[in-house]
Structure 1
């Protein structure tokens, strides 16, 4: 059986990967995740949820997200990861 490796042309975008990690945290349908969604207000995430998302993003993208980085919306996470994963 042939198993293809993921190539750059078929790998999910950073945005898609961040959406997947965030939606997986509380089994939210990916269709509910929008870049403008507030983690606390719209998605009802608490501090523990946000910390778990940060840890998963750090593992997945081999980056470090300092505590002082303001991350309130899904778009904040996407922008941060996009900027720092590209630099890695």
Structure 2
């Protein structure tokens, strides 16, 4: 009678958007980003890169990311945005 509401589609869409934002920063194809990839070691992102990504995520998802939130992997960004995006 009632259609089931799927929660995976919005989550997948958020993940794809986050990966796109991260990939744009260093011209890395989004499909090549692994959630376990280290931002500093594997992707060679520096502090400026991370701040730019955070600012872009805040703009795109209308969220605020506190300074003390640690982001070490691609998955950290995906998890934070998924949990805090409206």
Deviations 1:25-64 (A, max 9, x none): 0111223211101110111100000000000000000000
2:70 maps to: 70
**Structure 2 SS opposite 1:80:** helix
Alignment-derived partner of residue 81 in structure 1: 81
Root-mean-square deviation (CA, aligned residues, Å) is 1.6
Q: Which residue of 1 aligns with 2:14?
A: 14
* Equivalent residues, number: 77
Aligned to 2:6: none
Runs of 4+ in 1 over 6 A off after TM superposition: none
1:57 corresponds in structure 2 to 57
TM-score, length basis structure 1:
0.82
- How many Å separate the matches in 2 of 1:83 and 1:75? 12
Q: Whose helix proportion is higher, 1 or 2?
A: 2
Structure 2, gaps ≥5 residues long: 1-8
